[in-house]
Structure 1
């Protein structure tokens, strides 16, 4: 898959910095200091980066759920986020 800067990818890609693999997982999270309890932000993960991104969010107490992309239904008020920050 070729990603041209400024264009939309043909399928969702992993949120790990520098990764351009197809996403397989949705990591739902929120920062309780910034977000209401029901709000969910999302990162997408390929198989290779699922564990790393989950640990990154988990040690901060942000990770709420990990779901297969094909099974994900975004709750109202959720936001998707691109690269790992």
Structure 2
């Protein structure tokens, strides 16, 4: 049987953006999360840098990788 309702494509986590996500920004807040825990924000090409800067300025950003 073929699923006629495939899951929606992931979209960018930037407020108000509806562009397809192509980047995965993995982060954690060391005051709240264990070192191995990772949360994920998704980003389009346009917002990858600004979302990364936001997380980086707080010391939360751990890695950025293409969304697979």
TM-score (norm 1): 0.71
Q: How many residues were matched structurally?
A: 62
Larger Rg: 2
Q: Which runs of 5+ in 1 are unaligned?
A: 1-8, 71-85
Counterpart secondary structure, 2:41: strand
The corresponding residue for 2:3 is: none
Question: What's the C-alpha RMSD, in Å, of the aligned pairs?
Answer: 0.9
**1:51, 1:33 → 2: CA distance?**
24
Report the Cα offset of residue 10 of structure 1: 1.6
The corresponding residue for 2:52 is: 54
Q: Which runs of 5+ in 2 are unaligned?
A: 1-6
TM-score (norm 2): 0.89
